[in-house]
Amino acid sequence: MSYQSRDRRSGNREVAAPSRLDAPEAEASIGPAHEFPPLPGTGAAPWQRGRRPNAMKPLTVRRGTRADCTLLGALNHQLIQDEGHRNPMTPLELAKRMRLWIGRGGYTALLFEDGGKVVAYALYREGPDEIYLRHLFVVRDRRRQGVGRRMMQTLRDQIWPQGKRLTVEVLCQNTPGIAFWKAMGYQEYSLGLEIMPGTRL
């Protein structure tokens, strides 16, 4: 099944229907892998602004399956290191968790490829009113080239349904991550606080 892209700037190309992505057990790729649309020059939304010319290289996107979970576990491990998270899980444990998440857990993983090589992934869960983007990761040697921005553009314009609240959580110390989300239009809403065991009050 396919539908016409809502974004007329993308040239109304045919992309996979969101309903196919809704089924957590579905393991097919999201239709034929498609190229990112070119970014518009003017009048763009926050996640579409400010690209450099070398960011225009086409990428393709496909749905992650169980077969991708070893790689996704390794990338998740790098994400944990890069954002400074305390999670001590190994890549193998993360791969196992990823299998559960995209199996019965209701999450969708999307892999973004350049010339057949995975350069980024997104992991999200769609609820009735909200889309929670749990992971967004770009491999280290492809950062600051507009990949993350184009991922958000593809998610928002071609894959996610309109009209839902979009949420992410970011660690306070992850200043590049915070800068990225703000550049994508996300705004501060809540602040998590903690007292670590052994802290003197």
Ligand X SMILES: CC(C)(COP(=O)(O)OP(=O)(O)OC[C@H]1O[C@@H](n2cnc3c(N)ncnc32)[C@H](O)[C@@H]1OP(=O)(O)O)[C@@H](O)C(=O)NCCC(=O)NCCS
Query: What residue ranges bind ligand X (CB under 6 A)?
Result: 50, 79, 82-83, 135-138, 143-149, 170, 174, 176-177, 179-180, 183
Q: Which is nearer to ligand X, 9 or 85 (CB)?
A: 85
- C-beta of 116: minimal distance to ligand X in Å? 19
Q: Exposed e or buried b for every residue in 79-106, given b needs 16+ CB within 10 A?
A: bbeebeeeeeeebeebbebbbebbeeee
Helix/strand/coil for 182:
helix
75 closest CA partner among 108, 120, 43, 33: 120
| Closest to ligand X by CB, 16 or 137 | 137
DSSP 16-35: E-HHHHH-TT--S-SSS-EE
> Looking at beta carbons, which residue is closest to ligand X?
148
Strands 130-138 and 2-4: unpaired
Closer residue to ligand X (CB): 69 or 170? 170
Q: Is 48 exposed, middle or buried (0-12, 13-18, 19+ CB in 10 A)?
A: buried
CB of 198 vs ligand X, minimal distance in Å: 28
Q: How far is the CB of 3 from ligand X (least distance, A)?
A: 26
> Which CB, 66 or 144, lies closer to ligand X?
144
Smallest distance, ligand X to C-beta of residue 13, A: 21
For residues 166 and 130, give the distance between their C-alpha atoms in angstroms, rounded to a whole number: 6
Query: Closest approach of Cβ 51 to ligand X, in Å?
Result: 7
Of residues 77 and 149, the one with the C-beta less far from ligand X? 149
